[in-house]
Structure 1
Amino acid sequence: METADWNEEESYLSIVTAGSPEELKARRTVCQQVLLEQLNVIPVQEWMYRVNVMHDQLARTAVRICEAQMKEAGYGLPPCAYSFIVFGSAGRQEATLWSDQDNGLIVEEALEGERKRYFEAFGSMLSDVLEAIGYEKCEGRVMCSEPLWRKSLADWKRQLADWMEQLEWEPVRYLIIASDMRHVAGSEALSAQWRKALHTGFTDNSKLTMAVLRNTVRHKATLNLLGQVLTERFGDNAGGFDVKYGLYIPLVNIVRHLSLLHGIETSSTLKRLDELAKLEQYQHLEEIRRACLTALRMRVNTPFTVTDGLIVSSDYYAENDLKNKQLRAELRESLLLIRRLHKALQRQLRSAERRQL
């Protein structure tokens, strides 16, 4: 891995054979350097694929190391099957090199007695191992160390059903997070049953899809009345633009809403667009795809720093970077599209709400 050539077998083998968090972190740093050399050399879709395969291999190896550490600590082997799942950008296979933790556990049997003791310790230890290899803990606490995101399959089904019945902002937000779930390690059958429970709840459920739509159309303004890009006015990022929440997340939200509406189960934004295109019901899908690629390209090129071999970014483009005319034109075009789409979805929401009166 001394050149920028991508040798999948060699790159991934170096990760999966690591025997400790320290070793795994060191191999992550080497692999990241290879990927950084390839940034803007290969198409952004291919680059994102390679980055996310690396993340998956790191997570699977972390799970294996954690199981070994649990055994050494006297907990023994896992008392039943379980699945390690990811959400957020990792769930969508769109994680950057600096993405934090967004994950959970599905346990086959009820979390009682020995199983409760084991998986409480396992979830906490796994989150610590992931932090040790460079994944910051999630500020929103969407992690397998938290009881809300670590449940038996039966409890998960009840939790999903409860969120679907409440239809308030917070439970719907949790459902939106859940809908990006992707299996990474452990029992694929458990993940498949979890996914089926989620999507069955959306079938012919107009109140639920309307609640998701209500969350989807709320976002901070990114253009002024003249169609000019709005930048941060205050703070450390004054003059800069928030690529993640100003551009990337609004597109993710729009595509996710349409996908849930049509029972599309894949979690990747670009793959969701492929499935939506097959329906032949929507205009502007090609424009949305171009905007998504712009968002991904801008996001992975935001300024970053390297600390102890790990990459950190604020997800902001600095004021000077925004002076690039081509970049600013692409950004403005994407934001104008988002504004048009949001206005259309807001009209749709108002119409649906009137029908329910």
Structure 2
Amino acid sequence: MSYETAADHVSFQTIRSASTPELLRSARLEEQLSLFGRFSSTKIEEWNRNAGELQDAVMSQAAILCQRQLIEEGFGSPPAAYAFVAYGSAGRNEQTLWSDQDNGLIIGKGDGPEVKAYFDRFGVRLSQLLEQAGYPPCPGNVMTSNPLWRKSTEDWIRQLESWREQLGWEQVRYLMIAADMRHISGDSKLTGELRRTTHEIFEQDSGPEGNLAAAVLRNTIRHKAALNVLGQVITEQTGDHAGDFDVKYGLYLPLVNAVRYLAVEYGISASSTQERLARLIKLEVAPYRWLESCQNAFYTALRFRSMTSYLEEDGTLSETGYLPQSMLKQKEIRRELREALGTVKLMYRTLQRQQRYAERKWL
């Protein structure tokens, strides 16, 4: 089925008309089952886009329900403009059907403490509604319920500048989360303005000690592809997933992080891995065949992420992140996995050489 046909087939009308969190969760599960049934017959790039559109529809409707509930409870309409944004895989438009929450709020100009009080309540309520709709809380607490990710535009700028000045491990991690920001609903101008400001902050020249790209590189090379020196796939050794492969941390995130670093290094402001790779290819920052291999590895990672086992509890879907060993026994899957991991391992060798060169240069 082509992307256009699939998009027409999934109208998301039941999602957009859901009037309660329970109906929203039910509509989401119904649409997910329909989309999952087309997984094997749709190109992964197209299927991933369909999955992202579905998740966007659910998150947007959750924001609408949140606003309605606060009006019904006597708190009124939002006293200032706001933007509901996504981070993580949702920000990169790379969600699985069972992704958890990764989101935040940008609050526009408004007078008085009632603005903060309203959006404090709004942020907590929205996170609760998303959980009721089937999205597990973010393990890292990157959610609208956390004040760190719920700020006015002015406070966001001050926070980003502070992270940019410090460049510790945690601050760089936060900056990279912010780099993946994408608009979901509300005032898109707020999102656009903050994205432009974020890019300008990233581009600031602060000398060797304040080099953002170098700091991102140090964080990036901590996560390596799960392939040993003999070219064998590294699987879990113990526990419930012994013999399974951790797709998220063994393949997907090392690749995403490496591409994000290259985007920062070359001043690319795009938030999705696919767009970043396309820009890197256009800029000819490396041989085309090398970047093409990275692109193929990325599509493999996307596909394998949606093939991992998942858990369902009370209508909430959560991914285990593991490709079961029964799949690893399939010759074609083993071949694709080793090939993708080999590409990522080569990327990291290149990045490690770059870091060693940079360290010698600064001595």
TM over 0.5: yes
Separation in 2, partners of 1:221, 1:288: 13
Match of 1:348 among 348, 351, 354: 354
Match of 2:245 among 235, 241, 244: 241
2:331 corresponds in structure 1 to: 325
Separation in 1, partners of 2:257, 2:84: 24
- Aligned-pair identity in percent equals 48
Separation in 2, partners of 1:124, 1:85: 15
Scaled by the length of structure 1, the TM-score of the pair is: 0.95
2:273 corresponds in structure 1 to: 269
Displacement of 1:35 after TM fit? Answer: 0.5
Residue deviations 1:72-102 (CA, integer Å, cap 9, x gap): 1111110000100000000011000110000
Separation in 2, partners of 1:48, 1:18: 23
Separation in 2, partners of 1:209, 1:233: 34
Alignment of 1:174-253 (within 5 A): 174-203=174-203, 205=205, 207-220=211-224, 222-253=226-257
1:15 is aligned to 2:10:
no
Change (3 A) 1:78 1:346: same
1:298 corresponds in structure 2 to: 304
Whether the 8 Å CA contact 1:199–1:265 is kept in 2: the answer is yes
Alignment of 1:131-146 (within 5 A): 131-146=131-146
Separation in 2, partners of 1:10, 1:211: 42
1:337 is aligned to 2:360:
no
Separation in 2, partners of 1:146, 1:211: 25
Separation in 2, partners of 1:20, 1:84: 19
Residue deviations 1:26-51 (CA, integer Å, cap 9, x gap): 11111011101101111011111011
Whether the 8 Å CA contact 2:135–2:317 is kept in 1: the answer is no
Q: Secondary structure at the match of 2:336?
A: helix
Displacement of 1:15 after TM fit? Answer: 1.3
1:24 is aligned to 2:24:
yes
Change (3 A) 1:197 1:347: same
Displacement of 1:323 after TM fit? Answer: 0.9
Separation in 1, partners of 2:254, 2:200: 25
Separation in 2, partners of 1:271, 1:56: 18
- For 1:181, the aligned partner's letter is M
Separation in 1, partners of 2:10, 2:203: 44
Whether the 8 Å CA contact 1:18–1:24 is kept in 2: the answer is yes
Residue deviations 1:258-292 (CA, integer Å, cap 9, x gap): 11222222211111111111101212110001100
Whether the 8 Å CA contact 1:85–1:184 is kept in 2: the answer is yes
- For 1:106, the aligned partner's letter is I
Moved over 6 A (4+): none
Scaled by the length of structure 2, the TM-score of the pair is: 0.94
- For 1:229, the aligned partner's letter is V
Give 5+ residue unaligned stretches, structure 1.
none
1:314 is aligned to 2:320:
yes
Separation in 1, partners of 2:6, 2:340: 31
Whether the 8 Å CA contact 2:81–2:107 is kept in 1: the answer is yes
Alignment of 1:27-176 (within 5 A): 27-109=27-109, 112-176=112-176
Aligned residues: 353
- For 1:279, the aligned partner's letter is L
Match of 1:256 among 253, 260, 266: 260
Q: Which moved more, 1:241-250 or 1:203-212?
A: 203-212
Change (3 A) 1:228 1:140: same
Residue deviations 1:289-321 (CA, integer Å, cap 9, x gap): 110011111110112344444433201012222
Whether the 8 Å CA contact 1:110–1:152 is kept in 2: the answer is no
Whether the 8 Å CA contact 1:82–1:187 is kept in 2: the answer is yes
Whether the 8 Å CA contact 1:202–1:261 is kept in 2: the answer is no
Whether the 8 Å CA contact 2:135–2:316 is kept in 1: the answer is no
Change (3 A) 1:31 1:113: same
Residue deviations 1:228-275 (CA, integer Å, cap 9, x gap): 111111111111110011000111011111112222222111111111
Q: Secondary structure at the match of 2:83?
A: strand
Q: Secondary structure at the match of 1:265?
A: coil
Give 5+ residue unaligned stretches, structure 2.
none
Displacement of 1:204 after TM fit? Answer: 5.3
Separation in 1, partners of 2:156, 2:102: 17
- For 1:126, the aligned partner's letter is L
Residue deviations 1:186-242 (CA, integer Å, cap 9, x gap): 111111111111111122546111101111111156122211111111111111110
